[in-house]
A and B are shown apart, each in its own frame.
Chain A
Amino acid sequence: MKRLITISLCGILCLCLTPALAQNITVKGTVKDAATGETLIGVSIAVQGTQTGTQTGPDGTYSISAPGNAQLTISYIGYATQTVPVNNQAAINVALKAQSNELQQVVVIGYGTQRRRDVTGAVASVKGEDLAKQPVQTPTQALQGKVSGVQVIGSGQPNSQPQLRIRGTGSVLGGANPLYVVDGVLTDDIRNINNNDILSLDVLKDASAAIYGVRGANGVVIITTRKGKKGAPVVRYDANAGFREVSNLVEMANRDQYISYLQDANPSKLPSDQAPLTTPGTTNWYDAVLRKGFQTNHNLSVSGGSDNATYFVSGNYLKDNGVVTTNNFDRFTLRSNLEIKLADNLTTGTQLSLSRANERPAPLGDVYSSVYRAAPIITPIDENGKYGNTSAWGNVGNPLLNINKVNNQTVNNRLLGNAYLEYKPVKSLTLRTAFNTDAFWNKQRNYNYRYLNDANTFNVAGGNQQIINSSLLVQNDQSLRTVWDNTATFQKDFGSHSLTVLAGFTREYLKTDLFSGSRIGVPESEDLWYLDQGNPESQATYINNGSKFTRQSFLGRVNYSYAGKYLFSASFRADGSSRFVDKYGYFPTVGAGWIISQENFLKDNSLISNLKLRASYGQLGNDNIDQGLYIVTGTPNIPYFFNNTLALGTIIQDIKDPNLKWERTNQLDIGLEYGLFNNKLTGEIDYYDKKVKDALTPVSIPAILGDPDGIYVTNAASYRNRGWEFSAKWTDKVGDWSYSIGGNINYNKNEVIGLNGGQALNGGGVGGQGAITRTDNGQPIASYYVLQATGIFQNQAQIDAAPTYNLNGETKRIGGLIYADISGPNGVPDGVVDTYDRDFSGSYQPKFYGGFNASVSYKAWDLSADFYGNWGNKIYNGKKGFRYDPNDNIEAGYASKRWTPTNASNTDPITITQNTPASTYFIESGAFLRLNNLTLGYTIPTEVLKKIKMSRIRVYASSQNLFTAKRFSGFTPEILTTDILSSGIELNGYPVTRTFTFGVNVEF
């Protein structure tokens, strides 16, 4: 050992001594953009072959001590690196050329980085500043439309996590969300990450994600946060403020339309009860519960460093009041990224982020469904503060009262980050150990006020809307995840051969713990909202549970390139998971690339500046299920009474599959990267074929086994996603104008290719309509499976000629829907319309989706627009069919279109009742195109800034979601659902909002 140290010490001494042989001189100069002539800040200047280096300051100048015969390497992100001989000059000014092809850009590929040109997999990258540009809360929302192959489904609700689908939906039960890796920390939720802290975001779309093994099947999103650079402190302040409003409200029926509808839907209602009709006017219930919500975001960061340490410290405050009156959200995040050089070959550092979020969530489910259904003839609240009594009218509860009588508050604290140590015993070998953690401790407090259906609450007593006992729920939720990564990376060039070998070992541990208690009869004063104040004897509950699991993995990867044009890579990961009996899974992948433009026959081609063909194939896994799904467990402490005394029993009844294993995905990817016209036009084309086998799926089992829900989880299904991705970007500069136009379009075909011998999965219930979707062979996951509505009965003759209805209450009637008799028990039309006549009728998964972005700048002005959309999918308008009561309100559009004796509609029935079965009547097109973001900015000219000693000031105005072109009549074509089998069914989502903000970016 001692010998080894001695040798390496010698090495260091030698390195230090070598430059000392020549005489050092001081070189000074300025670095500018070759095109604009602007000075560049933070450019790295290094003396080639030494550890000596510096950066340009705020004025673009540098000063470095170097031997007179040395070579200086000048490099800057986004610019071509230049090497300049010193030749004993004291002043060297450099003009760097911007690089639009981004080929030199570093791509993060998991446990390491690679130059983009050397990558053999399908990896998309987005720069942090492109994410921070939009006034949205999460980096995932900002990603929408930016990269090919990534579908983002968002919501207007504060603190909601947008849903990402990378190359389609590949699982029903194992989760279809990608893995997020933030500075090496594996997580499922990145809502705590401040967009301004992000340096880059990389998406592993293909089998290159196999380096994350059993968590890679849905793709991996890797986020790298900023680090400080050597130099004087750079202070940045970015802030914006604005408001958000609902962008697409559904117009509900007014008083007259509603009354006219009631005469058909509930004829006995109006003659028997005239009371509410005496108050004139129409209530717009949405006006009663919605508002314009204020939002603001302040971000301050300081970064810099010395020879031995660099730092990046930031603080962020974000406030977002939602559009529901009682909703609000704010978040404070702190980040500290430090790196310390302990010795020339020994570095340590930390990347830590701490966040605290406070939220008063809107009681969504009840509220949106009730607002939609509430009768427009009832006042929300009168001048005396008494609520209108909708339920006494035989309608839903008053939604405004519901909202006002609930006070929920959540606090989420989260620590996410790592500490690492990096050691280079020899130049070509890097040993790294990193201890990563993701810990949260959340607190939730829900209070429901007591109120009765009497004249103290309502302007008319009665109905069933009341809360007899106030109640309080307090919940503490904790989770600790630690990941310990140990890697060794060997990197060396041998002539034309370049080799990188990675070997690693990681361990992951997760423990969660939930404690929750509730009591009734807690007093109204907020100071008394503690469980002790409630009734200990009645309806008091205490819940405490948790989970624990571990993973342990060995990984390796080889990247090899020859002559800078032939690329090869292979990786392997052995993943152990405590979630299965058979612990270990093995996930290999191979990839190859050919940079054709490096070949002699293309080298000097004026048209083609870059052309690369690449392919990869590998296996990935998904183990994202509950712990212990294979172990038979029991439930203790279930009650019964003997001798009028409580007795506690135990039951064992869930059926478990003892041979459960993870899902496996085999993915092929073939891609072509191109750069034309001197890289003014760049882009990629990819084809992929992704097959999931052994997918975890709930299988219905005969009830005779006694399983309470008659379902157990096993590996039985196979799915396939195949598709094409196209992206292109044109960047150019004409005089003072520079502009770029880019876009991507993606085609995906999702298909169930094997389903445990044909047992289809039904899902997505809508009230009395039962299951709406079916997941069956040859169809996309969660396809709508409903009756085919073909028109409206106009007269008795049509009814007499039509097949019999056997539809649980739905009858043939004039003005009623006509359903096609397409099949029967024997597979042929049988003269009866019943459940056999359902057919596949599309799904929420789009055939095409994509985005395009355009930006133009003229002198100090910049303007950019981002669009996003999808095409070829369907939405089930579930709220329209979810009718419990004939007195529920209807949409204005339906009110004017529905069949009446004077309006012979052939599309909309006279009434929709709780017996109206699921049919194509409720299915609408999900296609839309939206202007996601429009931003206009103005940068104060450099001359002015110099006078006030600032390096950058930009002011801007921005609008998120300015307009949406869509055909869907509901609130939003973006339907967020956690249950994959319920995809695309709109019941009571938070409407997408439109945001207007003004902001400023300051740097000095």
Chain B
Amino acid sequence: MIMKTSYKNLAFIAFTAAMVGTVSSCKDYLDVAPQAQITEEQIISDPNVATNLVTGVYNIFFAGDAFGNDVRGFQYAVLGDIASDDADKGSSPNDYGDALQLDNLTANGNNGVVNNIWRGYYQAIARSNQALDKLQNAQFDEAAKNKLIGEVRFLRGMFYFNLVRIFGGVPLVNRVPAASEANSPEFSTKATAEQVYEFIISDLTFAVANLPDKSGTDVGRATKGAAQSLLAKVYLYNKNYQQAYDLSQAVITSGAYGLYADFTTLFRETGNNSIESIFEIQAGKNTACNAAIDRFTITQGPRAGGRYGWSDLGYGFNNPSESLINEFEANDVRRNATVIFIRPTTGNTSSGTVLYDGFRIPSQDSVQNERYNYKAFYSRYSESNCANFDRLPKHVQVIRYAEVLLIHAEAAFQLGNAGASLTDINLIRERAKVTPLTAITLNAIWHERRMEMAMEQDRFFDLVRQDAVQPGRAAAAFTAHGKTWNARNKVFPIPQAQIDLSGGNLKQNEGY
């Protein structure tokens, strides 16, 4: 009996403890923070938040997906190169229909590439706005703070500059919207191209005023020189030649930059962050081996075809066009530095193509296409990498000194200073080992521009710009390239998916 009583006491204690324990801790029991995910509040309380969020904006270049959301990777190359007269789609004829439509200037709003670019850029802008939002509240030295803000506004200015060049007027998102604001007219209605340019100029002007010189900051960060160069380019697009001239002049006279002596190695690892580099997308080796733009080089690498039988280097997209090849002057070193030529098959004696690192590509009967982009090539064998060929650490030069000279030359020419213009152009020609010019014309500047910057994802936008200066130019260039240019092609179509999500606020571009 004693035994039974103690059991019952035990039971009573157990039940009582259960109820008491429960009631006392009821309130907090259901407050569980997400595990292994840092919350916004926790991020804000971190003293390094500002710096880290700015680094996070730079990382958007790696966040892209070669066939998804993208900022400066392969999707951007489809617009800048493949859609232009510099290049053809490449790969096997039916591979990647979206790129084919763009190559043929027949894409409409359902095209996947334009949606990927739209999404990539607005993701980049959202990261910039998040960083700016948190920076505004950060408590630290004003100059250091403005430098960080300057970097983000430089990047945001660049993002909007590319957006306006691709789509014309686009919605201007200048802060972090709440989810509930998704369909508010403020964010889903297009601003005009002029308003977007105004916004870009204000961002870049702030960056010019607050960023340090190249010597005063880390390699890879935005600098005053970078902001001036980009702003000069923006003014060139707006035919504000005086401002374009003044800003490019400032970059030239700063003495911080110059032409890299050997054009042939400018786009190799040895040319990374050279004297010529003004703003360059960085990359490198980390343990996870993912610190580079996704598949930027493998998408453009030579592809096996025909007889196959070799380990190829890529998917074969973005082939330099015949129109581009035809424009190179004899002995221009840029020709063989820009294009990998696949040699014809000549029976058993076919020599194939030996790349600078010694890799031999077989002759045409085993290769899908005849030409590939050498500027996007990265050697798996002689340049440092960690064997993740999808993320070869290729740097991408966004603005380099040669382009500043070209901007300077064109602005000077338009302002009537043909002498300065000729000097600039001949500096570039000298490096390219082609005979100097004795007189300068607008077409000669544009020719030089095309040769110098071929396959660097700028040609399409530049041709549209030239067409605004000299109407008919784009149509002629595309005719020479075997494609038909229409007025609507000066901008790409707004993604239909985004129009559908905008509640009718976002309108399609004219002609699509």
Contacts and interface: CB of A to CB of B under 8 A. Distances in A.
A540 interface: yes
Interface string A183-205: 00000000000000000000000
B137 interface: no
B470 interface: no
A423 B58 contact: no
A901 interface: no
A217 B54 CA distance: 45
Contacts of B291: 639-641, 646
How many B residues touch the partner, as a band?
35 or more
B30 A702 contact: no
Contact of B498 (A631, A643, A703): A703
B55 A640 contact: yes
A463 B311 contact: yes
A634 B39 contact: yes
Contact of A703 (B36, B54, B95, B119): B119
Nearest to A649: B55
Contact of B94 (A642, A702, A708, A915): A915
A676 B11 CA distance: 48
A636 B52 contact: yes
A806 to B, nearest CB: 9
A99 interface: no
B22 A648 contact: no
B126 A653 contact: yes
Interface string A625-652: 0011001111110111111101111111
Nearest to B393: A641
Contacts of A550: 29-30, 32
Nearest to A884: B95
Given A634-B43, A649-B53, A652-B40, A640 B282 contact: yes
Given A546-B36, A809-B100, A650 B30 contact: no
Contact of A5 (B5, B177, B273): B5
Interface in A701-729: 701-708, 710, 712
Interface string B471-503: 000000000000000000000000101100110
B261 interface: no
A651 B501 contact: no
A206 B499 CA distance: 43
Interface stretch (B78-86, B301-309, B415-423): B301-309
B29 A507 contact: yes
Interface in B93-133: 94-95, 97-98, 100-101, 110, 115, 118-119, 122-127, 129-130
A433 B183 contact: no
B146 to A, nearest CB: 18
A423 B61 CA distance: 66
Contact of B308 (A393, A538, A643, A652): A393
B355 interface: no
Contacts of B179: 655-658, 701, 705, 712
Contacts of A392: 308-309
A965 interface: no
A920 interface: no
Contacts of A750: none
Interface string A548-578: 1111100000000000000000000000111
Contacts of B495: 703
Contacts of B512: none
A653 B123 contact: yes
Contacts of B311: 453, 462-464, 466
B30 A705 contact: no
Given A700-B501, A701-B501, A706 B123 contact: yes
A468 interface: yes
Contacts of A272: 306-307, 365
A707 B365 CA distance: 45
B39 A631 contact: yes
B359 interface: no
7 tightest CB-CB pairs across the interface, nearest first? A706-B126, A649-B55, A628-B34, A545-B36, A649-B56, A642-B218, A538-B386
29 contacts: A9-B4, A273-B307, A343-B7, A392-B309, A431-B11, A460-B309, A462-B311, A505-B22, A507-B29, A539-B289, A540-B288, A552-B29, A628-B33, A628-B34, A633-B34, A639-B59, A639-B290, A639-B291, A640-B291, A644-B273, A652-B53, A656-B179, A702-B498, A703-B501, A706-B126, A706-B173, A708-B63, A708-B123, A835-B110
Given A539-B387, A652-B130, 18 more contacts: A343-B4, A394-B305, A507-B29, A540-B288, A545-B36, A576-B29, A634-B37, A638-B63, A639-B59, A642-B218, A700-B497, A702-B188, A703-B123, A705-B177, A706-B124, A708-B63, A808-B97, A914-B95
Interface of A: 1, 5, 8-9, 268, 272-273, 342-343, 346, 392-394, 421, 423, 431, 433, 453, 460-464, 466, 468-469, 484, 486, 505, 507, 520, 536-541, 544-552, 576-578, 583, 627-628, 631-636, 638-644, 646-653, 655-658, 700-708, 710, 712, 759, 768, 808-809, 835, 913-915
Interface of B: 1, 3-5, 7-8, 11-12, 14-15, 18-19, 22, 26, 29-40, 42-43, 46, 49, 52-59, 61-63, 69, 94-95, 97-98, 100-101, 110, 115, 118-119, 122-127, 129-130, 171, 173, 177, 179, 182-183, 187-188, 218-221, 273, 282-291, 304-312, 365, 386-388, 495, 497-498, 501-502, 506
